[in-house]
Amino acid sequence: MSDGSRDNRARSASDDAHAELDLPPDRLDSLEADSLLRDPGAYDGPPWLRGLFGWTLAACGAGLAWLLATSPERDPILPELVERNRSISGVSNPVTAVLLNFRSWDTLLEVAVLLTAMTAVWSMDRGARALARESGEQFDDPVLHGLVRLVVPLAGLVAVYLAWVGSQAPGGAFQAGALLAGAGVLLVATGLLRPPTAETRVVRGAIAAGLFAFVAVGFGVMPWTGVFLQYPSGWAYPLILGVEAVLTVSIAVVLVELFVDVPAVPDHDSTLDRLDPTGDPLGRLLNPDGGLVEGKEET
């Protein structure tokens, strides 16, 4: 019942949004989710230009393929370097050795990129809120629930294993984080978990923790080695494992958060009410609250 009243309120708010937008109705219709995805936005320039571009691109592709396929054999310098220094890296998996020891600076910057992307998405603030709307609403499907209850713990277990085994075999923080994120998205999409928001302190902490732990380790080893991120001998393995553990959680939370993309909206913000209640994931496109607000400001 409460659902119904909420729907009605949202629906009328959505109609208001249509009226306020002052757009021809057919334009709004053209934004229906179906056409949004079915129409790839066909090429609409002159045909000769399309042909020219297509053939040029095909020629470039053929040239690229030919160059790559006929490039002379080179000595594997980099893999040999890695192989020679693997014993001092603290881990036996060469990929992890590169990621978290030899080129750990790159990985650190990558985690910084993740944090930056997260900040950018949050600052846009009017992105997808379809899943925020669904929070608290569970799908009453026994098969779905059974599957989720089976898959999520399994994903957690495999993620822990992947993070652990990364030092000896294929695996590591990124694979484990992606797997955990998959489990998290599944939980959020089925309504079993409230989508994390930027408001939640734990979420913000977890997202920043990856970068901060990495930087802390980087500076922390300096009194012993004098070089940023240069692990003291004997300490490489525990440090790598620790960084990987924090990164796993951090990456997982960032990926879930990027997916559900829930902005920080105060409770009294009426923009959430304007969301289309039809339940279509793309229904949010019908309610361009951002355009609405800014359109008002311009006039």
> By CB under 8 A, what part of segment 42-61 binds other proteins?
42-44, 50, 53-54, 57-58, 60-61
Question: Smallest gap, in angstroms, from Cβ of residue 140 to other proteins?
Answer: 30
Scanning residues 122 to 141, which ones bind other proteins (CB under 8 A)?
124, 126-128
Q: 51 Cβ partners below 8 Å, 6+ apart?
A: none
Length of the chain, in residues: 299
User: What minimum distance in Å lies between the beta carbon of 214 and other proteins?
Assistant: 13
Q: Select from 158, 161, 203 the least CA-distant residue to 183.
A: 158
Question: CA triplet 201, 205, 208: central angle to 5 degrees?
Answer: 140
- Looking at 103, 145, 158, 160, which residue binds other proteins (CB under 8 A)? 103
Residue 83 found at the interface with other proteins (CB under 8 A): yes
Closest CB to other proteins among 27 and 201? 27
Query: Among residues 10, 17, 91, 118, which is the contact residue for other proteins, using CB under 8 A?
Result: 118
User: Measured in whole angstroms, how far is the alpha carbon of residue 89 from the centre of its chain?
Assistant: 30
Site for other proteins in 201-260 (CB under 8 A): 251, 254-255, 258-259
User: Residue 29 or 141: which CB sits closer to other proteins?
Assistant: 29
Where in 177-206 is the site for other proteins (CB under 8 A)?
Answer: 178
Find the DSSP H helices in the chain: 2-21, 25-29, 33-38, 47-70, 77-85, 94-97, 104-124, 130-134, 142-165, 173-189, 201-220, 222-225, 236-260, 289-298
Beta carbon nearer to other proteins, 64 or 147: 64
Is 275 near other proteins (CB under 8 A)?
A: no
Q: How far apart are CA 293 and CA 271, in angstroms?
A: 9
The span from the CA of 276 to the CA of 266, in Å, is 19
Q: Is 297 in the site for other proteins (CB under 8 A)?
A: no
